[in-house]
Amino acid sequence: MNQWLDERLHISRLNDKFLRKAFPVHHSFFLGEITLFSLIILILTGILLALSYEPSNSLVVNSFDPGSADKPNLIPAAYHSALKINAMPFGDMLRRIHHWTANIMVAAAVIHMMRVYFTGAFKKPREINWWVGMLLLIFTAFTAVTGYALPYDNYAYNTLKVIYSIAASLPWVGEWVSQAAFAGKFPGDGLIPRVYGYHIMLLPGILLALTAAHMLIMIKQKHTQPQYAKRIAYKKIVGVPLMTQQTPIMLALTLVFAGIIVLFSAFIPVHPVEFFGPPSTTPINNIKPDWYLLWVFGVLAIIPSFEIEILGGVINSEFVGAIVVPTLAILAMFAVPMLDRSRDNLYYAENPTNYPVRLGAGVAFMALLIVWSVAGYKPELISAGILSNTNANAVLWIATFLIPALSYFAVQAIVRGIRSLRESDARDRAAFQAADD
């Protein structure tokens, strides 16, 4: 049979080209795989959810609590179907798995990028894949956010409202853009069908295409090799082939990973739609975006209010906080490979401590995002008495500059410490060897 297939599909070529691709043996190389598995689990659970979900925000009678004939209890169909999903066997579990996996996918992607950044794996020839990876990160965030909107409870409603108005805050074109993106003035009748289209068709399509490109480029360019490979066989590719050695490792990883997600989902509820209730005009106290967007939220919380009108376009604090600042941060990440001027192709993952500036800059950048995320908790910090209403903004702004700078210099100091230790080790070894001879 093998031969029959081979004559038609040239399996052996496929085998040579793809299935024998060598995977480096190092745990940090699993992060990308975890991201990929998450995507697969998300698609599978997403399909199951889509089978029972009703993408519409028109009002229907709540079948769980119909009210009276003259005053029926009307709720949006999407919200109603979320309640129904919760009521079906394992329905709530399905939603939780989908939700948890989404969080883990973003987390794994972020850590995967940190690994790539700190070991210099973005350098020539892998710049393109860094950029594809950035796009993946951005579209993953979009997919996650549109997913949030679908249960259409009060939380989703408020989130959507903020997203709509962020889009509308673009000077000149904002109104048109947000109406085109969200099917008319908020909340238009077509709102949920539109977001549903994004979440299950457009964005997953983009994600799959980008993932395919990401992996093809990776197979073409090969992984960076971990340091030990240099000692074993210089300039040779060291690792285990996809077929058959890496596959069982991957399968084991998938199973463990799926098990962890199911455990999480069994014990830690996420997004209880019943608790938030259908969309209403009652604000939700302390509403927060997910952790990976908290930094944008934090910027918005500490940015002072202003509004400038230029030629009929309005530039306000919302536009600067929610669009300009994140765009700058993302551009900085896009620019990472261009800051590197090496001419040679990179074979081996670099030791981060040999590149103190890069290491420091990366840590400072993360520190900045953490400070801003903490700023997202401004109201809580004030309520808890840690900051006061009058000094909160000043303190958080000072931290915005001070903490990244401090972490940069702390990294430099630590790196210097590590180096001097390493050098004295080398001296000792040399002395020892000399004595030995």
Q: Which positions touch another protein (CB under 8 A)?
A: 158, 161-162, 164-166, 168-169, 174-176, 179-181, 183-188, 190, 279-287, 297, 300-301, 303-307, 309, 312, 314, 316-318, 321-322, 378-379, 382-383, 389
Residue number with CB closer to another protein (30 or 276): 276
Looking at the Cβ atoms of 287 and 330, the one nearer to another protein is 287
Give the separation between CA 37 and CA 42, rounded to whole angstroms: 8
Min dist. Cβ of residue 194 to another protein (A): 8
Q: Which stretch of DSSP H or E encloses residue 208? A: helix 203-221
- Measured from the CB of residue 193, what is the shortest distance to another protein in angstroms? 11
Residue 251, SS3 per DSSP: helix
* Helical (H) or strand (E) element with 59: strand 59-61
Nearest approach, Cβ of residue 434 and another protein (Å): 59
The set of long-range contacts for 58-67, using a CB threshold of 8 Å and a minimum separation of 24, is 58/189
Residue reference for tokens 């890496």? 246
Q: Which CB atom, from 33 or from 318, has the smaller least distance to another protein?
A: 318
Q: Kindly tell me which of 186 and 397 has the beta carbon lying closer to another protein.
A: 186
Minimum separation from the CB atom of position 388 to another protein (A): 9
Q: How far is the CB of 158 from another protein (least distance, A)?
A: 6
178 residue type, one letter: S
Considering the complex, state which of residue 309 and residue 425 has its C-beta at the smaller distance from another protein.
309
Classify residue 133 as exposed, middle or buried by CB count within 10 Å of its CB (0-12, 13-18, 19+).
Answer: buried
Q: Which has the closest alpha carbon to 35: 280, 253, 357?
A: 253
Min. distance of Cβ 426 from another protein in angstroms? Answer: 51
Q: Are 133 and 306 in contact (CB under 8 A)?
A: no
Q: What residues are paired with 240 via a beta bridge?
A: 23
Work out whether strand 22-23 and strand 313-316 pair parallel, antiparallel, or are unpaired: unpaired
By C-beta, is 3 or 282 nearer to another protein? 282
